Amino acid sequence: MLRPSAKSLPEHARGRNRSLVLQTLYRSGTLSRADLARATGLTRVTISDLVADLLAENLVVEVGQRDESRPGKPATMLDINRGGFQIIGIDLSDYAVFRGAVLDLDGVVLQRAEVPLDGAVGVDASAKVVALAERLVGAASLPLLGIGVGSPGVVDLAGTVLSAPNLGWPSGGSSGEPLQATLAAATGLPVIVANDANAAALAEHSFGAALSDMMLVKVGHGVGAGLIIGGTALVGSRFAAGEIGHVVVGTDGGAACACGKHGCLETWLATPRLDAALAATDDGPDGAAERTAILRRAGERLGIALAPVVGALDLAEVVLSGPVELLDGPLAEAAIETLRMRTMAEFHGDLSLRMTALGQDIVMRGAAAMVLSGQLGVS
C-alpha cells in the first residue's frame, strides 16, 4: 500500500523548470536564453522569467555575447555562476582519518583538510567531524552552497546515522546520531549526510561516465555498494541498500567474519584480509603467481555475489572503487569473467565492469554532488 502521496502545486512545476534550466546550463556550459528555450521546450518568455530569478539570486551570470558571428541579434550568453559558490565535501569512510575538501561547483577539489581519527568514537567522533567542517568553512574563499557528508553505515533520509559500529554511532544508547542536524546547527549551512558508497555512486553518476543503471562497489576495510537506478540513488526499505558486505558468498564455507557468520563477502574482499594474504606470499616468481591467484579468487567471489544482483536489476555497469593496486588487475578481470559466466549473456552481454576514474576523492566529490543536487536540483 502506498501512503497518500503529496498534492502537486503549480509552484512545484516552477521549481522543476527552474532546476531544469540550472541542470541544462550546468551540463552544457554557456547557453543563451534562446538556446535554453530550445533545449528545454519552454518558451523564450518563460526562460527569460526563470533566468531573471536566477540572476537575482546570483546563481546564474551573464558572460557577454556569443563569440561566433551569426545573422540576427547577438545572443547574451549565460552560465551557472561557477565562480560564485563553493561546496564542502567530507568523507568519513576511512578507518583512520576523516577527510574533507572545499570544491567548486564542477566538483574539482580546491583545498583539502583532514583529521586523524585516533580511535575516537561516539560523541568524540562527532566532535571531530564538526571541527573538520568548521575548518573547511573557514578555508572557503566564496559563499558556500552547503556541506555534504559521506558516512559509513546506515544513514536515513534526515541525515541521521542509524548504525556505524566502527565510529561508535549511535552513541549513548540513542536511536541515531543526528549528524546532519548537528552540522547544520554548528555551521548554519545546508547539510546533507548519506552513506559513503551511495555518495560514491552519485559521484560516478555526476562526474564520471556512469550510465543511469549502475552499481558502485566500494572496497576498503569493509565492503559496501551504492546503486543508481534510473538515475536516482536507491535507499532501501530500512535505508540499508547496498549493504552487501555481510552477505554470504558461495556454498563452500569460508573464513569466519566479525559478524559471526562464515564466508561473508568482506572475508573474501576487504583490504586487510587481502593485504594479509598477499603479505604471506614470498618474493619469487612462485609468490607472484600465488598473489595473482589470491586476487583472482577474490574477484571470483565478487562476481559470484554480484551475479544475482546484476541479473535481478538488469544492470549495465558495475564500477569498483578502492585501492587500485588490489582491485585493478586480476581481481577485476576475474570478477567480470565470473559475472559473465554466471548471468545470461543474451541480456547482459554488454555488461561492463571497470575501476572508477575518480580515485580517492570519490566520496568527497559525491558528497559535493549531493549538495549540488539538493540545493540546485542538478543531478
Partner DNA sequence: TTTGTTCGTACGGTGTACTAACAAACATGT
Partner DNA sequence: ACATGTTTGTTAGTACACCGTACGAACAAA
DSSP 240: -
Considering only residues 4 through 33, tell me which ones interact with its own copies, judged by CB under 8 A. Answer: 4-10, 12-13, 16-17, 20, 23-24, 27
Whole-angstrom CA distances from 372 to 242, 360, 365 are 22, 20, 10
| Rounded-to-integer distance, Cα 128 and Cα 115, Å | 7
Contact (CB, 8 A) for 361 and 110? no
DSSP H or E segment with residue 195 = strand 191-195
Considering only residues 149 through 188, tell me which ones interact with its own copies, judged by CB under 8 A. Answer: 154, 163
Contact (CB, 8 A) for 216 and 309? no
Min separation Cβ 33 and DNA, Å: 3
| Rounded-to-integer distance, Cα 159 and Cα 181, Å | 8
Q: Which one of DNA, its own copies, none interacts with residue 213, CB within 5 to 8 A by kind?
A: its own copies
Q: Which one of its own copies, DNA, none interacts with residue 35, CB within 5 to 8 A by kind?
A: DNA
Min separation Cβ 16 and its own copies, Å: 4
CB closer to its own copies out of 38 and 185: 38
Peptide linkage before 272 cis (omega within 30 of 0): no
| Phi and psi at residue 245, to the nearest 5° | -60, -30
Q: Which one of its own copies, DNA, none interacts with residue 70, CB within 5 to 8 A by kind?
A: DNA
According to the binding rule CB under 8 A, does residue 130 interact with its own copies?
no
Q: Which one of DNA, its own copies, none interacts with residue 29, CB within 5 to 8 A by kind?
A: none
Other CB atoms within 10 Å distance of the CB of residue 185: 11
Radius of gyration of the chain (CA): 23
Considering only residues 26 through 55, tell me which ones interact with DNA, judged by CB under 7 A. Answer: 32-35, 41-46, 48-52
Considering only residues 78 through 137, tell me which ones interact with DNA, judged by CB under 7 A. Answer: none
CB closer to its own copies out of 63 and 316: 316
Of the candidate spans 12-20, 98-106, 263-271, 359-367, the one that interacts with DNA by CB under 7 A turns out to be 12-20
Q: Which one of DNA, its own copies, none interacts with residue 75, CB within 5 to 8 A by kind?
A: DNA
According to the binding rule CB under 8 A, does residue 233 interact with its own copies?
no
DSSP 256: B
| Phi and psi at residue 199, to the nearest 5° | -60, -45
Grid coordinates belonging to 80: 551557472
DSSP 326: H
Residue 319: strand, helix, or coil: strand
Of the candidate spans 138-146, 228-236, 323-331, 361-369, the one that interacts with its own copies by CB under 8 A turns out to be 228-236
Of the candidate spans 173-181, 204-212, 283-291, 355-363, the one that interacts with its own copies by CB under 8 A turns out to be 204-212
According to the binding rule CB under 8 A, does residue 98 interact with its own copies?
no
According to the binding rule CB under 8 A, does residue 293 interact with its own copies?
no
Pick one of 112, 135, 261, 273: the residue that binds its own copies (CB under 8 A): 261
Min separation Cβ 6 and DNA, Å: 11
| Rounded-to-integer distance, Cα 312 and Cα 324, Å | 28
Contact (CB, 8 A) for 111 and 142? no
The residues of the shown chain that bind DNA, judged by CB under 7 A, are 7-11, 13-14, 17, 32-35, 41-46, 48-52, 69-76
